[in-house]
Amino acid sequence: MKYDHLVIGAGVSGISTALLLARFGGRVALLEQAARPAPLIDGFVRNGVYFEAGFHYAGGLEAGGVLDRHLRLLGVADDLQRVAFDPQAYDTVIQPDSGLNFSFPQGYDALCRRLQQQFPKQSRAVADYLERLRHTAGTLPYFNSHEAISPLDLAALHDCSLQQVFTELGIGGNLRTLLQVHCLLYGARPAEIPFAIHAGVVDGYYRSASTFKGGGRSLVKAFSLALKRFGVDLFCGCRVTGIDLTAADNIAGVSCADGRQFAAANYISSLHPQAMLKLVPDKAFRPVYRRRLNALAETTSGDIVFLRCQRPAGMRAEGLCESHLLAGHNYFFLPPSSADILDLTLSPQERLLYLNFAGSGGFSEGRDCGITAILPALPKSAADNEALPRQLYAEKKAMIGELVCGRIAKLLPELAGLQVECVATTKTLRRINLSPRGSLYGVKHMVGQFNPVPRTRLADFYLTGQAVAAPGLLGAITSALLAVAEIVGPDQLQKLRSEVACDV
């Protein structure tokens, strides 16, 4: 069976690409090696408790926000219910030894006032920084729906780092510490990340921080319904083993592990660039291109601990969703003030610790809740990941889980009955992300690094995914927009965006 478009990988970027192409009338096949689409954000249930895996919260989901517009364009917004995080304290940053304690409120004006109150001597720098960030995010391709779409200028996006902006505006001390905490959202350091990419990621959170009712699982359900509605043929459990070429070096089709073969007019890979290279014959790309993709730096990895929290005895279930500790809140516990907050060589007792309570809504129904704790870690090679024997690896995971559990119990003694359900490491991430070094977000965006663009020299073969645009849910969808614009033309895509905007 031959299709108009064939998309490899049914993660967020692959699904988004398939949905957009289907909206233009194309017959689309979407191939996914896992048993279900978008497994990274689908979450999982362990012993009756739901845990968020790759989705924790989102920015720009407010009516008319950039992510809200993207989801409407994909045709999934009406199947989702937004749940706002605490408007006064969606992210709380605490450094126990120094006494630093700051909560991020939603909205630029509220954030500006709170930062200026806490850092009066840097009041002008706060205002200038937030204004530059807001303006920069608004000029990114596909972020501002009121302007014509301009080509992605990669050089301009990568010539100024977040750290350079801090230095230029005189932002230092605890103010700089707070403003760089959200580097965890994309896994790069301030000296590495282009300011434009940083702005595109954090702008939505500064405007509004939210989740979906039902978490990442509800988003996957909405995606699945949209794929059926737009007639996309989804093939799960279908692992692509090769992209076949003709004698003229054009794509003949793709082969799968189960023997099936597919052909299409256009092919789009949403895989990690290095995973994609393994599927394509060497002659398809120049050696310099292969070397460049193989040399792309990876984002940070992480040890992820999934904990069950018992419903505190004597507390009314209907009041727990409003608890300052639980639903609608994230916590960032910083390393000691003498250390760099992004020092990934620190022990689990000292390293930056992120706590997400997206699963705590279960308390409102009288159940235990799931807590996700992330310790950023250095990415590791395959050899490093496979070095430990199975028994020692299991013991290492158990040790990390208990250390993190004990640390949380000391930091938040109000939480009762914490129990480690399971632990993911760089080895886990390497397997499920198809990332060679087990990174959280795959390829890093950094100053001086030229990330891949959607169009390749192989005719009718395109790339999408976080490596192309930016990390996270918004970055993955934006990468789909960039790829589809190359296929159908930017004018046609902008026309569809305008039509969808008019229907709202």
- pLDDT tens per residue across span 17-72: 999 999 999 999 999 999 999 998 988 888 888 899 889 999 999 999 999 999 99
Measured distance CA(124)–CA(127) in Å, rounded: 5
Q: What pLDDT sits at residue 447?
A: 95
Q: Which residue has the higher pLDDT, 148 or 169?
A: 169
Task: Provide the b/e sequence for 318-327 (b: ≥16 CB within 10 Å).
Answer: eebbebebbb
Pair 341, 190: CB distance under 8 Å: no
Pair 159, 150: CB distance under 8 Å: no
Q: Name the band, by pLDDT with cuts 50, 70 and 90, for residue 318.
A: very low
Q: How many CA atoms lie within 13 A of 120 on its CB side?
A: 1
Average pLDDT over residues 76-95: 95
User: pLDDT at residue 227 above 60?
Assistant: yes
Percent of the chain having pLDDT more than 70? 90
Residues paired with 245 in a beta bridge? 251
Measured distance CA(364)–CA(359) in Å, rounded: 11
Percent of the chain having pLDDT more than 90? 76
Strands (E), 26-155: 28-32, 44-46, 49-51, 58-59, 82-84, 91-95, 100-104
Pair 248, 459: CB distance under 8 Å: no
- pLDDT tens per residue across span 319-373: 333 344 566 789 999 999 999 999 999 999 999 999 998 655 544 445 678 899 9
Q: What pLDDT sits at residue 504?
A: 61
For 336, the token pair is: 């000691």
User: pLDDT at residue 303 above 80?
Assistant: yes
- pLDDT tens per residue across span 434-456: 788 899 999 999 999 999 999 99
Tell me if residue 70 falls in helix, strand or coil.
Answer: helix
Residue 453, Cβ density class (10 Å: 0-12 exposed, 13-18 middle, ≥19 buried): middle
User: pLDDT at residue 184 above 90?
Assistant: yes
Residue 45, Cβ density class (10 Å: 0-12 exposed, 13-18 middle, ≥19 buried): exposed
Question: Which residue spans of the chain are classified as CATH 3.50.50.60?
Answer: 2-80+214-296+444-503
Distance from the first to the final alpha carbon of the chain:
37
Q: What pLDDT sits at residue 367?
A: 64
Q: What DSSP character marks residue 229?
A: H
Measured distance CA(423)–CA(52) in Å, rounded: 13
Backbone angles phi, psi at 149, to 5 degrees: -75, 125
Q: What pLDDT sits at residue 384?
A: 62
Alpha carbon 203 to its chain centroid, in Å, reads 14
Pair 216, 12: CB distance under 8 Å: no
Pair 82, 222: CB distance under 8 Å: no
Q: What pLDDT sits at residue 148?
A: 44
The number of beta carbons lying within 10 Å of the beta carbon of residue 277 is 17
Residue 186, Cβ density class (10 Å: 0-12 exposed, 13-18 middle, ≥19 buried): buried
For 436, the token pair is: 């060679």
For 490, the token pair is: 């930017």
The number of beta carbons lying within 10 Å of the beta carbon of residue 370 is 27
What separation in angstroms does the CA of 298 have from each of 156, 253, 264, 281, 466? 21, 30, 31, 24, 12
Q: What pLDDT sits at residue 111?
A: 98
Q: Name the band, by pLDDT with cuts 50, 70 and 90, for residue 264.
A: very high
Closest by alpha carbon to 198, among 152, 158, 148? Answer: 158
pTM, rounded to two decimals = 0.94
Closest by alpha carbon to 301, among 188, 420, 180? Answer: 188
Ordered DSSP codes for 388-411 = S-HHHHHHHHHHHHHHHHHHHHHH
Dmax over CA atoms of the chain, in Å, equals 73
Listed in sequence order, the residues at least 6 apart from 147 whose beta carbon sits closer than 8 Å to its beta carbon are: none
Residues paired with 374 in a beta bridge? 304, 354
The number of beta carbons lying within 10 Å of the beta carbon of residue 96 is 14
Q: Are strands 369-377 and 353-356 parallel, antiparallel or unpaired?
A: antiparallel
CATH 3.30.1490.20 fits 2-80+214-296+444-503, yes or no: no
Q: Which residue has the higher pLDDT, 311 or 468?
A: 468
Average pLDDT over residues 246-273: 96
Query: Which of 245-259, 304-318, 325-339 has the least mean pLDDT?
Result: 304-318
Measured distance CA(78)–CA(81) in Å, rounded: 8
